[in-house]
Structure 1
């Protein structure tokens, strides 16, 4: 895996979607892979996002709703969106109030797939 390639994906997502302010990729256990952040502390963002992803996965599983795709948190001044990258990673996106959440979901799917390939080195088996 090339950290430069992962960072290129993060920059591209940030550039394509109005409102995206910061992004990071981490493992599901909260270890930072790489980040495109200005104000957030990347290691803290990775750890909290992993906890968020874990809670979302557990809730979805308990409710019988299938595999988790993303968790969206809406705050007073913006959004935190955590996407599952296969079974081993996550993408976290911080955005301001101007974010078009539906556009982010559409645009992030190919990004998540490419990040999965970069992290695992093999095409998805699902």
Structure 2
């Protein structure tokens, strides 16, 4: 049940934000939880997103800017955005050049909260 609810959140994000192509939820140590992907290798995206998240957290801490919210990477072909989902997970979003970045940030914040609640619920029942 939780797997379907998590996947539903990823589908919803793709449907609500122009430019979002693929996404995945993973643990902070890079283990894939669920993915909405067509072309990307979700296990690789999860591992690299975890490394990105860790580096972003460390950098934010080192410069005294507080808890990390997201890391945005812009490439020639689009964006990779990694959001912290509490202390235990992450959301990685792959998007094309047409990404509405502002809309993504607006829609992702409540999505991250819901993902965190679903993952917490799943963890507490295991």
TM-score by length of 2: 0.95
- Cα offset for 1:81? 0.1
C-alpha distance in structure 2 between counterparts of 1:71 and 1:56, whole Å: 7
Which residue does 1:73 correspond to in 2? 73
Paired residues, what number?
122
> Aligned with 1:64: secondary structure?
coil
The separation in 1 between residues aligned to 2:106 and 2:18, in whole angstroms, is: 13
Alignment correspondent of 1:27 = 27
SS in 2 for 1:99: coil
Normalising to structure 1: TM-score of the pair? Answer: 0.95
1:89 aligns with 2:61: no
Establish whether residue 57 from structure 1 lines up as the match of residue 32 from structure 2.
Answer: no
Superposed counterparts of 1:103-122, under 5 Å: 103-121=103-121
Distance 2:11 2:34 in 1: 11
Deviations 1:32-66 (A, max 9, x none): 00000000001000000000000000000000000
Counterpart in the other structure of 1:3: 3
Q: Distance in 2 between matches of 1:102 and 1:60?
A: 21
| Corresponding residue for residue 100 of structure 2 | 100
Unpaired segments ≥5 residues, structure 2: none
In structure 1, distance between residues paired with 2:79 and 2:70: 13
Q: Measure how far apart 1:83 and its partner are.
A: 0.2
How far apart are 1:102 and its partner, in Å? 1.1
Please name the residue that 2:14 is paired with.
14
